[in-house]
């Protein structure tokens, strides 16, 4: 279900930054605390925006409820931003998937999102 802006024909999706990594566009997900990978045409202009379905594995992700997000192609490469955020460990991903939280997961989720 898309966020309702009163215009059913033009749903509003959250805008997130996408960082090119070859033929992938990487999006930091603050709900899953991992990078989601999307297909990407390297010829796409920096600043262009494309809609993508979210690959969220957590059921409480607003990105799932909104029907995905709009990804804006950043001028920054994935290599230059990937270390700016800490990803959830496999055990933490299991907890997140199961809807469990912890202080550590709360800290992961409150990390600033890499700017476009
Ligand atoms: Zn996600």
The pLDDT tens digits for 26-37 are 999 999 999 999
Which sign does the torsion angle of CA 64, 46, 82, 84 carry?
A: negative
The secondary structure element, H or E, covering residue 76 is strand 69-77
Local structure of 33: helix, strand or coil: coil
Q: How far apart are CA 68 and CA 74, in angstroms?
A: 18
Strands 15-21 and 69-77: parallel
Residue 96, both tokens? 């997140």
Residue 6 CA to ligand 1 center (angstroms) comes to: 26
Beta bridge partners of 37: 26
Residue 55 CA to ligand 1 center (angstroms) comes to: 6
Residue 101 CA to ligand 1 center (angstroms) comes to: 15
Per-residue pLDDT band at 1 (split at 50, 70, 90) = very low
pLDDT at res. 8 = 56
Considering only residues 59 and 75, tell me which one the structure prediction assigns the higher pLDDT: 75
Residue 62 CA to ligand 1 center (angstroms) comes to: 9
Residue 17 CA to ligand 1 center (angstroms) comes to: 13
Residue 5 CA to ligand 1 center (angstroms) comes to: 23
Provide the whole-model pTM.
0.87
Q: What is the DSSP letter of 86?
A: P
């Amino acid at each position: 279900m898309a966020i309702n802006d009163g215009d059913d024909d033009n749903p509003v999706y959250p805008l997130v930054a996408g960082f090119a990594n070859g033929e992938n566009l990487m999006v930091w997900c603050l709900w899953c605390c991992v990078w989601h990978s999307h297909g990407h045409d390297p010829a796409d202009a920096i600043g262009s925006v494309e809609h993508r379905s979210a690959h969220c594995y957590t059921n409480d992700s607003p990105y799932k409820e909104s029907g995905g997000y709009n990804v804006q192609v950043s001028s920054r490469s994935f290599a230059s931003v990937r270390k700016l955020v800490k990803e959830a460990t496999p055990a933490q991903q299991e907890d997140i998937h199961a809807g469990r939280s912890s202080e550590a997961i709360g800290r992961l989720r409150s990390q600033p999102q890499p700017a476009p």
